[in-house]
Chain A
Amino acid sequence: MTLAPERTRTTPTTSAPTTPGINSRLSVTSAEPRPQRPEFKKSGRPNPAAHLSAEQIEEIGRELDALRQEVLDSRGAKDAAYIRKVIKTQRYIEMGSRAALLFSGVKVKGVRPMWWLGTAGLSVAKILENMEIGHNVMHGQWDWMRDPKIHSTAWEWDNASPSSQWKHSHNEIHHTFTNVLGRDNDLGYGILRVDEDQKWTLFYLFQPIWHVANALLFEYSIAAYDLELGGYLAKKNRMSDEDKAKFRADAQEVVTKIKRQATKDYLVHPAMAAATFTGSTRHTLTANIVANLVRNVWTNTVIICGHFPPGIETFEKASIEGETRGDWYLRQMLGSGNISGSKAMHVMTGNLSHQIEHHLFPDLPSNRYAEIAPRIRDLMDRNDLKYVSGNLAKQVGGVYWKVVELSLPPKREGTTRRATILRAAKRAVRGKGGAGRRY
């Protein structure tokens, strides 16, 4: 797993848009607008922004900056009350579900009602904690409240990945390099080919399996991913002692976190259930396992819908050099997709169903994305840009289909897919240019 190098700051610390409240990470400005974009990407696919002049792109940037400022200026007591209410609700759901599980072994007419209730509640609690609360708090969406209990630097989430490591790989790398091939590791997580422009290797032939396994184990794969475990294993021999030591310290942190999480879910709570003498120990254990699985599959589902559904663009490494603020916004809009649905669904996705709005303004409070969504859509319509959105079934279906379709190599003239696969397999068997090389 290649770790995207830290982006060298394009803005010296003394320069402009670092007024209080503006996230310095977002200040990807360069003084000179770039020349007209080429009509086609290197891969031969059309460039979706080719019709926009540099000036139009900068205008989009200005419009979005103004919109962002508008929301910043109107943040207030109502927003603070919202997140506190979500947190309070989540904690009560969790406590209630955990209490129910103490009696999860009790059978009434052949079913264990408390198991079903507790498992459902715990799944919802974990999802809320990870999505609408954890993800968004760690983005700094609520830092402006200056409540040390709801602050990006203080939050630790109910997930295997320690928040410090997640924040680095997610906030700094994924959000900066959104959908840039070879830069944004979130693009397929290094195990999936979700874009035609990703090079096919034999490894991807089995990606439907990788994908399902990844979804089931999502919290652990995120932890491994944030830890850059793959990169370590691949480059161990070439790494400096310093980097190795850093990796070991990070790994220790992950192990400690996983231990703590597992002790809570799989040891302490089942043990407490034993004290009710209702035969609930085993059932509490299964309830925790199921709740974690449900959370894993759900979060994975939401997240794949953010960047992989059909119609969402990817970008070449070279295309982001000297990116202006307008360019950056443009890439975020074209590289993300929304999920339409009910209010409850938006909350359960942590408002990542408003992925486009979130990627434009990762640190605006999540409860405000819904209200700016129509304005973003309007802006994209006016500029002839595709606002990708669809209901959950459609978006998920699209991704699953891609996972299957792109597991096969692209069609090339003069050869069949079958032949390409066989050639790759032979090479793999002979041990040259392995099946495992995926980057």
Chain B
Amino acid sequence: MTATLNRLAPSRRPARLAGLLDGARKVAEAIATPLVPSDYLDLIDPLRAGAELRGRIVSVAHETADAATITIRPGKGWLGHRPGQYIRIGIDIDGVRHWRAYSLTHRADASDGLISITTKAIPDGKVSNHLVRQATPGTLVMLDQATGDFTLPQAVPAKALFLTAGSGITPVIGMLRNHLGELPDVAHVHCAPTEADVIFREELRGYAAASRLTLHENHDDVAGILDLASLDDLVPDWREREVWVCGPTGLLDAAEAHWAEAGLAELLHVERFRPSIIEPGEGGSVTFEASGVTVDADGSTPILDAGEAAGVLMPSGCRMGICFGCVVTMRDGAVRDLRSGEITVADESTTGTKIQTCINAVAGRCDIEL
């Protein structure tokens, strides 16, 4: 008897359990219709397991005059991250939800389960200014799981170089906080307008003082913008180092050119916070079919921004052309890639053409399926 049970148990029990759970789910759905059960459960615990990923701001701590670290308690569904990765955060500002990407800066092994991002307020920046100056502990924010491949490889490099500027320090501080002990030889060149603008200044200097890395700070207002040719003096063995670069577009473009010229492009890892935009084209009108909305947009406004401004529910991700989280079908018309100027025309012989809305602007007119 017992033997039979034991034999049956492993195969049957999960199936029965699954059946039971499925039944329970169906009943819960029948109770909640036309809503879904989570609409009610969210009222009680928005951070519970199984809920859409959200987080609650725990603290906002200033790093410099215009940068702050926002610590967040993520929902139970948080899966963790690899240092260097970023998350998307959706926050309501003046009642309107805005999504932006931010690199994770916390220690991955911290026992409190909290995560953090560090944001630098940029002039006229909607979300960055809100996070740095207005966000308050207790605020509920939307989150996405961590993503991105600006990370250290499994086999850590013998020699590493981090080249960062401004808020570009954020993914790198994540790597340093979590992996510095495993990295045998680290050089770090960081640029900021002034000494006071260096985010994590004391921490970086602490690492340098403890000889865990060699640090060179370039204060642009004093020393001028960093010329990559000077790397020969600052980090003479830079050609031997695997390098991670993050910062404003100018630095990234220069680094790509510099390493390519040296024939070392394969050593270079780049993290961009925004796409490099070329001269915009004409613009035109965008029709969102399912939403029944038509808007005029100029040639430099991504379709993503134009749609959001009109209240259309636009899927989005990094907002800079890397994650493909914003792809939708264009049924008709044409768009222009803001990075390359390349025109994509809707293929009329099929049901439409897939486009990324975050880096395409309308060229004349276009019809979007949404």
Contacts and interface: CB of A to CB of B under 8 A. Distances in A.
Nearest to A88: B43
A349 B296 CA distance: 35
A156 B30 contact: no
A264 B39 contact: no
B56 to A, nearest CB: 16
B34 A154 contact: no
Interface stretch (B76-84, B113-121, B210-218, B309-317): B309-317
A80 interface: yes
A269 B43 contact: no
A23 B294 CA distance: 8
Contacts of A267: 30
29 contacts: A13-B287, A13-B294, A13-B365, A14-B285, A14-B296, A14-B365, A18-B285, A20-B295, A20-B306, A24-B294, A75-B95, A77-B92, A77-B93, A77-B95, A80-B96, A91-B40, A143-B311, A143-B312, A144-B95, A144-B311, A145-B96, A145-B97, A146-B98, A146-B308, A153-B290, A261-B33, A263-B30, A264-B33, A268-B30
A119 B94 CA distance: 37
B169 to A, nearest CB: 30
Contacts of A32: none
Contacts of B33: 260-261, 263-264
A156 B35 CA distance: 7
Given A24-B293, A88-B43, A156 B96 contact: no
Interface string B196-213: 000000000000000000
B157 interface: no
Interface in B332-370: 365
B97 A158 contact: no
B27 interface: yes
Interface string B22-45: 000001001101110001100100
B65 to A, nearest CB: 26
A46 interface: no
4 closest Cβ pairs, A-B complex: A80-B95, A143-B311, A20-B309, A156-B34
Nearest to A140: B311
B40 A264 contact: no
B291 interface: yes
Given A151-B313, A158-B34, 13 more contacts: A14-B296, A18-B294, A18-B296, A95-B40, A144-B95, A145-B92, A146-B308, A147-B97, A149-B39, A264-B31, A264-B33, A268-B30, A272-B31
Interface string A86-114: 00100110010000000000000000000
Nearest to A12: B285
Interface in A46-104: 75-81, 88, 91-92, 95
Interface string A254-279: 00010011011001110010000000
A88 B39 CA distance: 10
Nearest to A154: B313
A220 interface: no
A80 B296 CA distance: 26
A222 to B, nearest CB: 15
Interface of A: 13-14, 18-21, 23-25, 75-81, 88, 91-92, 95, 140, 143-149, 151-154, 156-158, 257, 260-261, 263-264, 267-269, 272
A260 B34 CA distance: 8
B41 to A, nearest CB: 10
B284 interface: yes
Contacts of B14: none
A13 B285 contact: yes
A97 to B, nearest CB: 13
Interface in B136-192: none
B292 interface: yes
Contacts of B98: 146
A18 B295 contact: yes
Contacts of B96: 80, 144-146
Sorting the interface of chain B by its residue count into under 10, 10 to 19, 20 to 34 or 35 or more gives 20 to 34
A6 to B, nearest CB: 12
A263 B26 CA distance: 12
Interface SS, A side:
helix
B310 A20 contact: yes
A412 B196 CA distance: 91
A81 to B, nearest CB: 8
Contacts of B95: 75-81, 144-145
- Determine which residue in A264, A267, A272 has the highest number of CB atoms from chain B within 10 A of its CB, and name it: A264
A146 B365 CA distance: 24
B315 to A, nearest CB: 10
Contacts of A264: 30-31, 33
B313 A148 contact: yes
Contacts of A13: 285, 287, 294, 365
A24 B40 contact: no
Given A13-B294, A25-B292, A80 B31 contact: no
Contact of B31 (A140, A152, A261, A269): A269
Interface in B257-305: 284-285, 287, 290-296
A140 B311 CA distance: 8
Contacts of B34: 156-158, 257, 260-261
B212 to A, nearest CB: 44
Nearest to A15: B285
A18 B294 CA distance: 6
A140 B97 CA distance: 15
A108 to B, nearest CB: 27
Contacts of B97: 145-147
A239 B308 CA distance: 40
Interface in B66-83: none
Contacts of B291: 152-153
Nearest to A163: B34
A268 B27 contact: yes
A153 B97 CA distance: 16
Most buried by A among B310, B312, B365: B310
A158 B30 CA distance: 13
B358 to A, nearest CB: 15
B109 to A, nearest CB: 34
A145 B98 CA distance: 9
Nearest to A27: B294
A91 B30 contact: no
Nearest to B306: A20
Nearest to A171: B292
Q: Which of A13, A140, A267, A272 has the most CB of B within 10 A?
A: A13
Interface string B78-114: 0000000000000011111110000000000000000
A263 B32 CA distance: 11
B311 A19 contact: no
Contacts of B93: 77
Contacts of B365: 13-14
A85 to B, nearest CB: 12
B284 A14 contact: yes
B92 A80 contact: yes
B130 to A, nearest CB: 11
Contacts of A154: 313
